[in-house]
Structure 1
């Protein structure tokens, strides 16, 4: 009986740590990954986006793993990897076509 209690005393805290680790780290990361995947799948031309580099632009066209955006005061088209998009902006910026200088 003493041997079973000592094994239970060792395994129970370890099991508790695994459960806490799952709920504090793994599960939230999976939810975040799923949200990002859904956001990238829902991209469409005309969406206003922000890249991981801080570039704001409007999607002009999409390909499999790349996105073409129009950005800057001179309205140049850039090709970006789809994974480089951080977020889709809800509202366009005021005076978007005016230079920031």
Structure 2
């Protein structure tokens, strides 16, 4: 025979708290493991792009190697070979070679 409705089930805030507390804990872990490191990396890349100078050797996100010849707003003129220059967006710069 089944128990009457409501018997044997948690009552009051116990059910709510048993669900909310673990969800908050999972959310905090998610933030500190995934979101915060990605945000830090994005800030470092943005700082690198903002401090770009003429003469820097770079690699684009597409894998093109070249030397920065001119920086104007969001457009960077890149020399990839003798007498060969291309214009790229600043956001296309992947990293600066040392």
Mapped to 2, the partners of 1:11 and 1:54 lie a distance apart of 46
Match of 2:56 among 47, 50, 59: 47
1:78 aligns with 2:86: yes
Moved over 6 A (4+): none
> Normalised by the size of structure 1, how large is the TM-score?
0.82
What TM-score, normalized to structure 2?
0.85
Q: CA RMSD in A?
A: 1.4
Q: By how many angstroms is 1:7 displaced?
A: 1.5
Query: 1:43 & 1:68 partners in 2: Cα distance?
Result: 12
1:1-101 paired onto structure 2 within 5 Å: 2-72=11-81, 74-90=82-98
